[in-house]
Chains A and B, each alone.
Chain A
Amino acid sequence: MKKLVEISLGVVTSVGGFLEVGSMATAAQAGATFGFQLIWAVVLGTICIIFLVEMAGRFAAVSHHTICDGIRERFGFNVFVWPLLATFLLSLMVLSAEIGGVAIALELATGIGFQWWALPVAFLAWLLLWKGTFGLIEKGVSMLGLVTLCFVVAAVMLKPDWTAVAAGAVPSLPAHDTASYWFMSVSILGASISPYLFMFYSSGAIEDQWDKSYLGANRAIAGLGMSFGGTISVGVLIVAALVLATHGIDQVDDYHQLPLMLIPVFGFWGFVLFVASLAIACFGATLEVGLQQAYLVAQGFGWTWGEDRKPRDNPGFSAVYTVSLFLAAIPIMLGLDPLRLTIFSMALTAASLPLTVVPFLFLLNDKRYVGEHRNGILSNAAVIFIIALGFVLAVVTIPLQIFGGT
C-alpha cells in the first residue's frame, strides 16, 4: 500500500514536472506550422526519455551512485570534465529559458515587460531552494504543475480527427519548409530528452534513499510518468494545430501568440489557464534545473550535497545554485527574447546528447555497479539508438540552426 502511494506520487510528480518552456514552445511551433505531422518527434522523444529515466533510477537504486558520480568514477576525471562542462553550460541556457518562461507569463498577466521579472523570479526560486526541502520542491511544485493537463482537456474538447493524430505519430517527409521541419523535429527531441531530467531523477533517487526494492516503482514511475507527460506535449501540439493554424497563424515566433491557443476553447479562463500553466511549469523547471546544477558540481567534485541540509552546512552546494540562478537571470534581464533562446537551447541540447548518453551504455552494463540488474537487449538497443540519433542531430543541428529556424 505504501509503495502504491509512493508510485502514484512519483507518477504525479513526473507528469506535473514534464512540461516546461522547451516542450511547450517547440510543440506549439510545430503544431502551428506543420499540423499533426510532427507528433512522431514528441512520441520518439518521450520513448527515449522513458528508457533513460528508467536506467538512471535503476542505476541509482542498485549502485547507490548518481549518474554523475558513476560517470566520474567509471571514466575518470579527464573524460568526465567534458559532459560536466557541456551539461553545466547548456543547463545554464535552459535555466535562462525557464526563467524567461515565468517572466513571459508574468508579462502576459500584468503588462509589465518580462525583463523586469527576471530578477524577482530568480530570487523567488533561490529563496525556495534556500529554505525549502527536496520533498517540497519535487512534490509540491510538480503537484501544481498538473494544471498543464488543461492542454490535454483542450485537445480533447477540440475533437481532433484521431486517425490524423495517429498518422502524425508516424514520421513522414514534409511537403513544404523542409529545413524548418527538421529543425523543429530536432528542437522537439532536445526538449523531450533533457540531460537535466535524468540526472535530476537519479539524484532524487539517492535523496529519497532508494534501494533495490524500488526497482518496480522506478519502472512504473518512469513509464507512466513520462508517457502521461508526453501526452501533455502532444496536447499542446494538437491545440496549436487546431487553433492557431486554422486561424491562419502558421508562424509562431512571438510569445504573445501562445495564449491564443486556449482562448477559443476556454474563453477568458483559457487565458488564465495558459498563463498559470506557463508560469508554474517554467517555475518548477527553474527549481529543478537550478538544483541540478548544484547536484552536478557537488557530485562531480565529491562535496556534501543534499537539498535537505541547511545552506550553512553546505556552502559549496548552495553557492552553485545561487550563482547559477542569478547568472541565468542576466540574459533575460537584458531583454534577450526568451522564445528564441528556448528554441536555440533545445536544439543544442539535442546535439549534446551523445556526451551524456554514451556513458549509460557502459554504466548500465557494468556488473560492479548494477550486478544482475544489467541492461537487457531492449534497453541497450534504446541507448545505442539515442546515441546514434544524437550524433545525427549534432551533425544536422548546426547547419539547420543557420538555415532552418521558423
Chain B
Amino acid sequence: MKLLRDLLDKQVVDREQVKIGKIDGLVVELRQGKPPRIIAIELGSITLARRLGAGPGLWMARLAAKLGGKRHGEPHRIAWHKVRDIGTDIEFDVDVRQTSIFAWQDWLRDHVIGRIPGA
C-alpha cells in the first residue's frame, strides 16, 4: 500500500459515521530489515501546521497550548489498530465524544453558537 497516496488527507469518520477530520499525519515505526509499520494517525491543526514547516508547527503548538491548555499542545492521535474500514472514508472504532478532537467545536457550541437563538 502506498501510504501517502492511499491514506494521507483522507476523510476520517468515527464509529457513528461522524466526520471527525482528515488524516493530517501518519505515525510510522521504522523497523530494521522489515517494511515500516503505521502505528497511528494524527489529526488537527498542529499536525497540519507541521506539514507546512517546522516554524508554523512550533507556533501552532504554542498557540494551541495557550488556548486549550497543555493537553492540546500535542496533536490528536488515533491508534491504527482501531481502523475498521477503508473506503471513500476511513472509519475508526472510536467515539469522537470520548476524545478531545472536537473540544474546540464543543467550546464553540457552548459559548457562541448554542447561545444564538434557533441553534
Point out residues on A near B: beta carbons under 8 Å.
63-65, 69, 72-73, 76-78, 80-81, 130-131, 301-305, 310-312, 315-316, 318-319
Contact = CB atoms under 8 A, between A and B. Distances in A.
B20 interface: yes
Contacts of A77: 9, 22, 24, 48, 51-52
B9 A73 contact: yes
A69 B90 CA distance: 13
Contact of B114 (A65, A73, A305, A312): A312
Contacts of B109: 312, 315
Interface stretch (B11-19, B26-34, B64-72): B11-19
B119 interface: yes
Nearest to A75: B9
B22 A302 contact: yes
24 contacts: A65-B88, A72-B9, A73-B11, A76-B51, A77-B24, A77-B51, A78-B52, A130-B119, A131-B118, A302-B11, A302-B19, A303-B19, A303-B105, A305-B19, A311-B116, A311-B118, A312-B113, A315-B106, A315-B108, A315-B113, A316-B104, A316-B105, A319-B108, A319-B113
Interface of B: 4, 8-12, 18-22, 24, 43, 48, 51-52, 88, 104-106, 108-109, 112-114, 116, 118-119
A239 to B, nearest CB: 41
Given A302-B11, A302-B20, A318 B105 contact: no
Q: Which of A65, A72, A312, A315 has the most CB of B within 10 A?
A: A315
Nearest to A81: B52
Nearest to A311: B119
Contacts of A310: 119
B8 to A, nearest CB: 6
A335 B119 CA distance: 32
B63 to A, nearest CB: 16
Contacts of A303: 19, 21, 105
B88 A304 contact: no
Contacts of A131: 118
A368 to B, nearest CB: 9
A2 B103 CA distance: 43
Given A64-B88, A69-B11, A76-B9, 13 more contacts: A72-B22, A73-B11, A77-B24, A77-B52, A302-B11, A302-B22, A303-B21, A310-B119, A311-B113, A312-B119, A315-B113, A316-B108, A319-B108
B18 A318 contact: no
Contact of A304 (B10, B19, B118): B19
A282 to B, nearest CB: 24
B21 A301 contact: yes
Q: Which of B4, B112, B113, B114 has the most CB of A within 10 A?
A: B113
A80 B18 CA distance: 23
A256 B106 CA distance: 47
A78 B19 CA distance: 21
Q: Which of A63, A64, A131, A302 has the most CB of B within 10 A?
A: A302
A302 B21 contact: yes
Contacts of A319: 108, 112-113
A63 B22 contact: no
Contacts of A305: 19
Identify the 6 closest CB pairs spanning chains A and B, nearest first.
A302-B22, A315-B108, A302-B21, A315-B109, A311-B119, A315-B113
